[in-house]
Structure 1
Amino acid sequence: MILRTFGWSFAVTAVGLLAAFVYGNGTGLALVAVLAVLEISLSFDNAVVNAKVLDRMSPFWQKIFLTVGIAIAVFGMRLLFPLVIVGLTADLGPVQAFDLALNDHERYRHIMDDAYPMIAAFGGVFLMMLFLDFVFEERADKWLPWLEKPLARIGKLDQLSVVVAGGSLALVSWLWAENTGQVMISGVLGMVTYILVNGLGELFAEAGDDDEDDEDGDGEGAGEAARTGGPSALALATGKAGFFLFLYLEVLDASFSFDGVIGAFAISTDPIIIALGLGIGAMYIRSLTVFLVRKGTLHEYVYLEHGAHWAIGALAVCMLVSVGHHVPEWLTGGTGAGLIIAAFASSVLRNRGGGADAVSGGDKQLHSTGV
């Protein structure tokens, strides 16, 4: 199971570390190893949330996420994204931006630092919307009932997540942003992106449910399974629904990777070293996502999803605060990891106390991706 799930990650690690040694000798090897650990520590909560969404996708779209998706994650976000940001900010072409990255590390880093407030606003608002939509929804299982119950109660107010996220963006822009207009625009774009991608995914998921209802006459159960993200075969997203879930996952992964990409500049400004290190880390996050799906971990340890979303909320706050103040990477990663570990421990205690009976056997079905 371990070798099957993490085999590609082990292979990429070996190739990546070898390439790092050839490219930068022992120093390059050490930097790539540190960056890989940084990416894994910052993105563990990403794996938990990805697993929840991946569990709703058909085997075909799971394979697409694990093949095409990893190429987008490694080459798109970890290598091309910084070059695009530098090119747009400094009004340079792609070749010029790449040449700058290789030959003038200090200027390259300076441009990325200047662009960070806009990046943080986009990613912070996107992740905050994801967090707020989770905590404002009524759920049967509550990890922190003293807090989640009142949040779910006030969450009945329509579009409250938009109000809170928009208000937070306005406050941050007013207090800390040097370029208020650009930060506001970036944050609003993050909000629009979340609403659009998430809304399209739900729209086509509901359309898929209706098609299944017409064909099988089993409408009520199928629709409910899809809405709760359960593993019923009827709930698996295919076609347009699968595509928009895939798109949603890619945007989500991009938002999670912002802090890792920017934080990597504190360790190295070489784009090759950064791409190798973060690429290795991204592979392990993908493998961990598959592991959680195949083992049915989120159904067995029911508070893990709660812990991951609270970690997302903490990351969103850190990103918005970083618009005006530096937030250490150890604080961001440590807070997220601590919340997930606490949620896992709470799930274990719940299961030992008999709460596991609330998890139906059907919820432990595994969706093998064949990858």
Structure 2
Amino acid sequence: MLLKTFGWSFAVTALGLVAAVIYGGWEAFGVVAILSVLEISLSFDNAVVNAGILKKMNAFWQKIFLTIGVLIAVFGMRLVFPVVIVAITAKIGPIEAVDLSFNQPERYQELVTDAHPAIAAFGGMFLLMIFLDFIFEDRDIQWLRWIERPLAKLGKVDMLSVCIALIVLLISAMTFATNAHQHGGGHADKAETVLLAGIAGLITYLIVGGLSGFFENKLEEEEEREHEAEEEAKRTGKKVSAVALAGKAAFFMFLYLEVLDASFSFDGVIGAFAITNEIVLMALGLGIGAMYVRSLTVYLVRQGTLDDYVYLEHGAHYAIGALAMILLVTIQYQINELITGFVGVALIGWSFWSSVRRNKALEAEGGDDDAAGSKAEVPSGV
């Protein structure tokens, strides 16, 4: 079962890591490995959400999502989107960006270095909004309760996350951006560039969130109609085809899943810029991670179970918050990509360990979720 479900992911991982060593040696191997772990962790909740929706679809639409949908997710978002970001910020064509990265790496690095403040501001704001919206939401399950409880209360204030993000952007523009690195080792005032790019990142987040909400509402409407049809069938005694009902909602489900995939992959792609600017390494690392998202989705659908590691989503979002702040700091200061990667992996690993301890405590308490959560949380708050 495990090999059947994850076989292709294992194969792509091996090929990707070998390609990384051939391309850039063992340092490239480390960068790709970190990007893969980061993408898998950040998209773990994506796989859980996908599985919850996918199991409601008929076999035909499941196959469509797991083939065409994954091709869109892997090649459209993880491979093409990073090139588009570099092309726009460096003001060159996408084909030229790819050509420079292979044939004139020094020139490519110059362009990316000059464009980095814009990339960092755009990505930093997008990731920061993801983190803030998560941390200000009141959740039944909390990991670091001493942080999350008071922030959840503050989150009742409307538009608080947007206000905080804009304040952070202003501070970044007035500090890091006024002494930003430029090619040749000097510094330049990039305040206007950072402000415009940061606002663009904020707008992008709001648009993606709006689209996700729109399709989610459509999906709920279709499910409500399906439920009403089933109730009507019970009253009249008529048989209703389950496949036909799935077919009615399937199109909106598919669109919703694609928008979700796009929004979830944004954080992975943007976060990747905090680790490396090289298109090839980003494509390898994010591509490997995207394959595991597909395998996890299939596994969860086939097993009929959801995620047992309840703090993993928290750890992934804390990693997103850390990457957001690191991106903003890199507007002025250079931070080694391996250090950046390990920060995210460490937070995710910590949340996984906390989840395991919680599950053991839950078993010991005989299913008392609150008691188990409190016991498992003690080391988290130290």
Task: Report TM bin, short chain.
Answer: 0.7 to 0.9
Contact in 2 for aligned 1:121/1:187 (Cα 8 Å): yes
TM-score (norm 2): 0.74
| 1:305-330 deviation line (CA, Å, top 9, x unaligned) | 22222222222222222222223323
TM-score (norm 1): 0.76
Deviation at 1:191, TM superposition (A): 1.6
1:114 is aligned to: 114
Contact in 1 for aligned 2:46/2:293 (Cα 8 Å): no
Matched residue SS, 1:157? coil
Matched residue SS, 1:301? coil
Distance 1:122 1:7, change over 3 A: same
2:350 is aligned to: 342
1:226 is aligned to: none
Percent of aligned pairs sharing the same letter: 45
| 1:253-286 deviation line (CA, Å, top 9, x unaligned) | 1332234256334xxx5x5566445534543455
Distance 1:218 1:45, change over 3 A: farther
Distance 1:199 1:285, change over 3 A: same
Distance 1:341 1:94, change over 3 A: closer
What code does the residue aligned with 1:243 have?
A: L
Q: Distance in 1 between matches of 2:104 and 2:344?
A: 34
1:181 is aligned to: 192
1:222 is aligned to: none
Q: Distance in 1 between matches of 2:282 and 2:212?
A: 32
User: Given the alignment, which residue of 247, 251, 258 partners 2:270?
Assistant: 258
5+ residue gaps, structure 2, are 178-188, 231-244, 370-382
Quick check: 1:166 aligned with 2:166? Answer: yes
- Say how many residue pairs are matched: 336
Quick check: 1:144 aligned with 2:144? Answer: yes
Deviation at 1:158, TM superposition (A): 0.7
| 1:5-54 deviation line (CA, Å, top 9, x unaligned) | 32112333455567x49xx9x56575664443131233343122322432
Contact in 2 for aligned 1:126/1:194 (Cα 8 Å): yes
Q: Distance in 1 between matches of 2:257 and 2:73?
A: 16
Matched residue SS, 1:353? helix
Listed as ranges, the matches of 1:1-371 within 5 Å are 1-13=1-13, 15-16=15-16, 20=19, 26=22, 33-59=29-55, 66-68=66-68, 70-72=70-72, 74-76=74-76, 79-89=79-89, 91-177=91-177, 178-217=189-228, 238-240=250-252, 242-261=254-273, 263-265=275-277, 275-276=283-284, 278-284=286-292, 286-288=294-296, 291=299, 299-354=307-362, 357=367
Contact in 2 for aligned 1:34/1:277 (Cα 8 Å): no
Contact in 2 for aligned 1:45/1:336 (Cα 8 Å): no
Deviation at 1:139, TM superposition (A): 1.4
Q: Distance in 1 between matches of 2:36 and 2:8?
A: 16
Distance 1:158 1:27, change over 3 A: closer
The RMSD of aligned alpha carbons is 3.5
